[in-house]
Amino acid sequence: MMKLFTLLTAAACAATMIGCSNDAKVTSPDGRIQTIVSLDEAGVPSLRVEVDKQALIAPSRLGLEAVDRNLASGFEIETVEKDHRDETWTQPWGENREIRDCHNEIAVRMHNPEGVALTLRIRAFDDGVGFRYEYDTPADSLLIMDELTQLNFARDGLSWSIDGNYDTYELPYREQAISAVERANTPFTFRIGDLYGSIHEAALYDYPEMHLLRKDSLSFKAELAPLPDGVKARVGGSFTTPWRTLQIGRRAVDLINSALILNLNEPSKIADTSWIKPQKYVGVWWGMHLGTQVWTMGPRHGATTENAIRHIDFAAANHIQGVLFEGWNRGWENWGGNQQFDYVEPYADFDLERIARYAAEKGIELWMHNETGGNIPDYEARMEEAMKRYAELGVHTLKTGYAGGIKGGYSHHSQYGVQHYQRVVEMAARYGIMLDVHEPIKETGIRRTWPNMMTREGGRGMEWNAWSEGNSSEYLCTLPYVRLLSGPMDYTPGIFDIYYDRAKADPGRIQWNGDNTHCSIKTTLARQIANWVIIYSPLQMAADLIENYEGHPAFQFFRDFDADCDWSEALQGEIGDWIVVARRAGDRFYLGAGTNAEARTIDQSLAFLRPDVTYKARIYADRTDDTLRTSYRIEERRLTAADTLRIEMAPDGGCAVTFEPVNE
């Protein structure tokens, strides 16, 4: 008969933790953050976190629950090993090309009478803490039934999160008191007093994803996405969990500027990364969501040879590196049915070989798209054949999709899902293919280890504006402080036809989810431009129909924009209210600012520019004297690092700026 081992009750743990003297401590390099590990009288480990000698996380129990093996109690500390690291490493791409990793570490090694050895490894950074479990047991394999990790807030505060869900992240943000949250996915961002923080995880490879489940007013437990039989994870007798992370800052933007998640991942496993190149792209995509085009072959088919040539020509004429085609391959007629797609054979009206040759002649990267509909067994049976074919065609970028229930009753975010997504990443690396993943496993920094994992969806993206209530400007002012803390997002920004005038004039338009005549973009055009800077992705799309860009003066911003940045910094903002971000690519800088439904004027120091250099600044801003969201103005000025830029934004508005050095 199977036996489950678990911890003592929370009340018993709390009573014994206080008097425990069997402690191990690690302090951040700047001395402000201290993490303390304790064992109670029953040998149950706990953790607490203090910032400036004030409790942030009160004593919180740790451990896992397994079948026929005690992973949670009876431990004694054998040794506490200490380490310090301060080094700088370089990414092949990223928000910042150079990353500093400065942390103190303790490895608390303990064992229990059942022969289980546990190393609790904790790394303390100036901007937060990461900890993970490293187990070594006498068993050959284990069934993990629960993770008992708790995070008990010392006091209440305000939080921003989406609901905890095992299958989707495409949910609205909620601003709630911490004590009012029932469950939440991560990143889980909060403010307590004058501290900002965010709970997430790092290095998720072979384990279910975690969300938070409230146990009482301020106590949250790690909840793992289950397999269909209720088991949370099948692991070896010796295994390591992902890191549980807590980012901490004095300002909201400190969370955005943190590299803690990346630093908790291993260095790249891809030796030659020269083929991994950030790029801008356009594609056949938005028309499907507007209902002016369809994925299947017929009179409204979007992915045709003629349309492909037109998009390739547009990209070549506008300094855009890539073109994406959805609905190019046979099988879309099975959508909503058996979910079987052909990942090699194109529709008859899409001459794949001719298009690939033409793209190569024009110097344009051809993107392929693989929608699986959640039919993972079918996709895994075909994906190597498909990737081999794409490599033969000179394709280096693949967008994948998983819109649909996964066969076998598996949830997207279970260990089964995590393992599948990782197999795809590694297979793609073998064939020199970069990935843009929709309906993904959330980003946990694995792009450091597998830098061909470029960008992911993992949130309510642009398409929600085509056939629903849409994404508000407040949502867009929350996104950088929550979802984007985990990594790049393929939000697909940049719609210029704000009110969908072109689509609504099409008499044959197909409307999704009922009447779509009320749908529109909920921000100004200037904010749409600013989103190319604010919403980081190394694969950045100009998502509108290309005919809405042709001849448009404001499209010059995207022509000038470089997705391959070297440096980035979130300069100022508050969660849900506003955001200002600057990036540099080569010798050019780009700035993006956005506000919520409140008109806002802010002063922004330009000290981030290089000193003693004069820049030609081209400013794309709202017309504050006009309530139409399509109204904008373009202004050119000479500015330096000594200047301050006054940014005036209309309600739901924004501002974007390119800074180009002037040779004088």
What angle (nearest 5°) sits at the alpha carbon of residue 91, between those of residues 90 and 94? 130
Ranges assigned E (strand) in 116-232 = 117-125, 128-147, 150-153, 158-161, 174-177, 183-185, 188-192, 195-202, 210-216, 219-224
Q: For this structure, is 463 an active site residue?
A: yes
Q: How many residues does the chain have?
A: 664
* Residue type at 263 in one-letter notation: N
- Name the catalytic one among 463, 469, 574, 636: 463
Tokens at 649, concatenated: 């934004």
Contact 542, 323 (CB under 8 A): no
Q: How far apart (Å, rounded) are the C-alpha atoms in residues 646 and 621?
A: 11
Q: How far apart (Å, rounded) are the C-alpha atoms in residues 593 and 531?
A: 8
The stretches of 479-524 forming alpha helices (DSSP H) are 501-504
Residue closest to 196 by CA, chosen among 156, 154, 245, 253: 253
Distance of CA 186 to the CA centre of its chain: 10
Contact 195, 181 (CB under 8 A): no
Distance of CA 642 to CAs 276, 615, 639, Å? 36, 11, 8
Q: How far apart (Å, rounded) are the C-alpha atoms in residues 469 and 516?
A: 9
Q: Token pair 């009750």 is at which residue?
A: 9
3-state secondary structure of 621: strand
DSSP 227: P
Contact 450, 92 (CB under 8 A): no
Tokens at 389, concatenated: 């074919």
Residue closest to 27 by CA, chosen among 19, 18, 37, 17: 37
Beta-bridge mates of residue 146 = 65
Contact 38, 23 (CB under 8 A): yes
Catalytic residues: 463
